[in-house]
């Protein structure tokens, strides 16, 4: 049976903070007061919101103009509607505003995503496994919108020791039919499950997922960067306006 709960007692994170130590202390504190989230077990998965990772890594930057900060983190414009820009950022993620966040940050500053979320996840895994003497999985999550669907959900932008994709192609379903295209985005599902207990304004940036130890492995598991769809496989690489402009320019150059 899968269980998911938030870790309480994590304070406001500042640049230079030892995030693994802070999370470890909060988990131990929960154990002392008898909270079920206290004692980590082998095979547990910790889902950590990217915001506290960014704060600990000093990714808070001065930005009087948020749009300039978005531009600095933009590798490719995917689509624009009004003032909203959907872009590809240096991590290969396609998302609104390049992941630049101005919520819960001091006036005149914004928060950038971690520079290398997979590396951040590996560092947390190593430190927390050493402290607790067990094998853990780590997922770093961020909030994304989705094409064709209303609303937002959390997805994995970093991971370590977790099977981020569960490739079921070649196996059979309950009726005996061979699955040909099914690849489950397990890391994204873990991130969205954790979001149900952490929320956006509850001050609970870390969750424990228990009961999915079969998804937990060693440091050789691919990180979340492997979830990003390669450009040559992306059927929706541009927004409609951008695709039209690109086609128009290509046609004009052939005349």
Strand residues in 101-136 grouped as ranges (E): 109-111
- Run of H or E including 68: helix 66-72
Question: What tokens does 87 get?
Answer: 């872009």
pLDDT value of residue 253: 78
Question: 9 and 202 in contact (C-beta within 8 Å)?
Answer: no
Q: What is the DSSP letter of 60?
A: E
Which CATH number covers residue 195?
3.30.1330.100
pLDDT value of residue 255: 63
Q: The domain containing residue 68 runs over which residues?
A: 3-254
Alpha-carbon dihedral sign for residues 186, 188, 192, 197: positive
The alpha-helical segments, DSSP class H, found in 73-113 are none
pLDDT value of residue 32: 54
What's the pLDDT tens digit per position in 103-161? 878 888 899 999 999 999 999 999 999 999 999 999 999 999 988 899 999 999 999 99
Question: 145 and 87 in contact (C-beta within 8 Å)?
Answer: no
Map residue 35 onto helix, strand or coil: coil
What's the pLDDT tens digit per position in 60-110? 988 878 889 999 999 999 999 888 999 999 999 999 999 998 887 888 889
Question: What tokens does 83 get?
Answer: 């003032």
Confidence tier at 171 by pLDDT (50, 70, 90): confident
Confidence tier at 37 by pLDDT (50, 70, 90): very low
CA distance 255 to 250: 9
CA distance 245 to 80: 12
How many domains does the chain contain in total? 1
Confidence tier at 182 by pLDDT (50, 70, 90): confident
pLDDT value of residue 136: 97
CA distance 246 to 240: 10
More confident residue, 193 or 31: 193
pLDDT value of residue 142: 96
**Chain centroid to CA 145: how far?**
12
Q: What is the DSSP letter of 100?
A: -
What's the pLDDT tens digit per position in 201-220? 678 999 999 999 999 999 99
């Amino acid at each position: 049976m899968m269980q998911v709960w938030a870790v309480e007692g994590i304070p406001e994170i500042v640049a230079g903070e030892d995030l693994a130590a802070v999370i470890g202390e909060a988990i131990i504190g929960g154990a002392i007061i008898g909270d079920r989230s206290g004692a980590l077990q082998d095979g547990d998965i910790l889902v950590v919101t990217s915001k506290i990772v960014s704060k600990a890594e000093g990714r808070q930057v001065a930005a009087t103009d948020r749009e300039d900060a978005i531009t600095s983190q933009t590798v490719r414009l995917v689509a624009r509607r009004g003032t909203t820009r959907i872009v590809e950022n240096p991590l290969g993620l396609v998302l609104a505003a390049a992941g630049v966040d101005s919520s819960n940050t001091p006036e005149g500053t914004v928060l950038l995503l971690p520079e290398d979320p997979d590396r951040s996840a590996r560092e947390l895994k190593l430190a927390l496994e050493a402290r607790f003497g067990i094998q853990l999985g780590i997922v770093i999550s961020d909030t994304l919108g989705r094409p064709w669907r209303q609303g937002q959900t959390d997805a994995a932008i970093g991971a370590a020791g977790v099977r981020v994709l569960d490739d079921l192609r070649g196996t059979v379903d309950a009726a005996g039919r061979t699955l040909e295209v099914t690849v489950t985005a397990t890391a994204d599902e873990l991130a969205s499950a954790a979001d149900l207990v952490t929320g956006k304004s509850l001050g609970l940036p870390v969750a424990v997922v228990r009961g999915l130890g079969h998804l937990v492995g060693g440091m050789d598991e691919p990180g979340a960067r492997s979830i990003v769809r390669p450009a040559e496989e992306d059927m929706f690489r541009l927004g409609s306006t951008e695709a039209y402009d690109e086609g128009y320019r290509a046609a004009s150059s052939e005349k």
